[in-house]
Structure 1
Amino acid sequence: MNSNPDIHFEMQDTVAVVRLTRPTKRNALNDKLIASLRHIFENLPATAKAAVIAGDGDHFCAGLDLSDLQERDAGQGMHHSRSWHHALERVQYGPVPVVAALHGAVVGGGLELASACHIRVADESAFYALPEGTRGIFVGGGGSVRIPRLIGVARMTDMMLTGRVYNAADGERVGLAQYLEPKGTSFAKAMELAKRIGNNAPLTNYALINVLPRIAEQPADQGFITESMISAIAQSAPEAKQRVRDFLEGRAAKVQQA
């Protein structure tokens, strides 16, 4: 599956666990690591029902490895950025939902990677920043598309103009994470959620990660017709029919307040 020592892949039951393993570099990203990430998500085993992305050591990911930064002309820079786009699209629009387990630095390219995941679980040590603006560069891994959809254009602009850093609590409040857990427990919570997600009907999961984001970008009339079609497809699956029968016949758990 992968021969890069800076990233580790394993299956834990039906959950694909992907770990960044450069703790001495705060799991900073380079092109080789991004290519390995793309390869992993393009070749997930058929048994995978969900995935978790995490980082070894004290940090999730401190962004781009600046030692990997090269002088490029405009064309080379564009193609380099697009290679990151293609890799992170495999995470966002792949076959299974992806949960990010965040702790420590979630900075620059690390925040771009986290924003490509479907659920973000942070612990109390997490902090978020986009230092590219103060370093004279711009995000290039899809952050200008994904991050404003989480927190709005104004907040991202503030982060890049001023170098503002959000702590874990404020990050969860503005939408950078959906869950905030005690320090050291984000991976355990991410695994719990991934296992729960993996029990959903596969076609429903696929619709949620591949169709719902596109519906959200469509005009209302187009969104409604897209919704009607994917709704019909999802409910026609044999597994969906069985789940509805289980609910109607009292075999399915009722929704309860947490």
Structure 2
Amino acid sequence: MLDTDALQLTVHEGIAHLTLNRPAKRNAINTAQIEALDAAFRSLGEDIHAVLLTGAGEHFCAGLDLAENSVNQPVDVLRISQRWHKVFHDLQFSGKPVVAVLQGGVIGGGLELALAAHVRVAERSAFFQLPEGRRGIFVGGGASVRVARIIGADRMTEMMLTGRRYTAEEGCRLGLAHYLAEPGDGLRLATELARTIAQNSALSNWACIQAVSRIHDMSMQDGLFTESLTAALLQSTPEARERMEAFLTGKTR
């Protein structure tokens, strides 16, 4: 069941809007919120063509709720980390394009969650940080894979050792976000992007989400072969033929 104390879900015109709903805790992630995210994504049907992911209040997400997780035993930490991995993986590979709006702190687990989204809009108030080294802990929600892929292992190591903050502008340059928005304008821009994405072929969106990341993990030859198979699958569908014909005849841009 969706825990509305932790997460709010609304749907409008085929776009689901998920809001992390613990503003007093800077949307720090606890077990209830992880389970709510999982339940929300499992509840999205074929009528949902894109997802907006936002955080209530001044911050997107301050990461792991240390108040709930400061005295766990090693086996508990292992299980929590693996649970985060599964939920974030399912978010990234559900087949639903996810557009995240980032403001204020995008810290630790909040950055791990943000990078599971496919399109990221950062308002100028956003800042990115991995302070785990300063807290005596280590990342556990996938940062060593997702963050390191984007900014490199060397830069990620420096972030963790020093607690360095990157501004919204710096995050965009590094690839932690794709779009920069003025304060309060992130949701408008993200909604426009989500509507544009929702107009794509559902199969094309699915292929972009499923294929590109996996091809990145392959050898060059395996990746090229998989790309050819994916292109052959999509280009031969009736919908693809209709869309290409509409473009060629000037009916669409």
TM-score class normalised by the smaller sequence:
over 0.9
Runs of 4+ in 1 over 6 A off after TM superposition: none
The letter of the residue matching 1:156 is M
- The residue aligned with 2:129 is 129
- The residue aligned with 1:212 is 212
> C-alpha distance in 2, partners of 1:37/1:170?
28
Contact 2:3 2:32 in 1 (8 A): no
- The residue aligned with 1:256 is none
> C-alpha distance in 2, partners of 1:22/1:114?
16
Contact 1:104 1:126 in 2 (8 A): yes
> C-alpha distance in 1, partners of 2:61/2:76?
25
- The residue aligned with 2:67 is 67
Q: Secondary structure at the match of 1:41?
A: helix
> C-alpha distance in 2, partners of 1:105/1:229?
41
- The residue aligned with 1:144 is 144
- The residue aligned with 2:250 is 250
> C-alpha distance in 2, partners of 1:77/1:123?
32
> C-alpha distance in 2, partners of 1:73/1:67?
14
- The residue aligned with 2:227 is 227
Q: Secondary structure at the match of 1:242?
A: helix
Does residue 84 of structure 2 align to residue 84 of structure 1?
yes
The letter of the residue matching 1:146 is R
The letter of the residue matching 1:204 is S
Unaligned runs of 5+ in 1: 254-258
Contact 2:106 2:126 in 1 (8 A): yes
> C-alpha distance in 1, partners of 2:143/2:43?
24
> C-alpha distance in 2, partners of 1:222/1:40?
34
Q: Deviations over 1:28-86 (max 9, x none)?
A: 10011011101111221221101010011111111111111143333332122101111
Query: In the TM superposition, what are the counterparts of 1:152-163 in structure 2 within 5 Å?
Result: 152-163=152-163
Q: Deviations over 1:99-157 (max 9, x none)?
A: 11000110011101001111110010001101111111001011111011111112111
Shift of 1:222: 0.3
Q: Secondary structure at the match of 1:80?
A: helix
Q: Secondary structure at the match of 1:133?
A: helix
Query: In the TM superposition, what are the counterparts of 1:1-258 in structure 2 within 5 Å?
Result: 2-253=2-253
Q: For the structure 1 residues 10 and 150, does the alpha-carbon distance in structure 2 shift closer, same or farther, using more than 3 Å as the test? A: same
Determine what percentage of the aligned residue pairs are the same residue.
45
Shift of 1:228: 0.9
The letter of the residue matching 1:212 is V
Greater CA drift, 125-134 or 67-76: 67-76
Q: Secondary structure at the match of 1:17?
A: strand
> C-alpha distance in 1, partners of 2:157/2:122?
22
> C-alpha distance in 2, partners of 1:3/1:79?
21
Aligned Cα RMSD in Å? 1.1
> C-alpha distance in 2, partners of 1:73/1:234?
48
> C-alpha distance in 1, partners of 2:164/2:133?
10
Contact 1:4 1:33 in 2 (8 A): no
* Structure-1-length-normalised TM-score: 0.95
> C-alpha distance in 1, partners of 2:79/2:24?
29
* Structure-2-length-normalised TM-score: 0.97
Contact 1:8 1:21 in 2 (8 A): yes
The letter of the residue matching 2:124 is E
- Paired residues, number: 253
Contact 2:203 2:234 in 1 (8 A): yes
> C-alpha distance in 2, partners of 1:109/1:164?
15
Contact 1:92 1:116 in 2 (8 A): yes
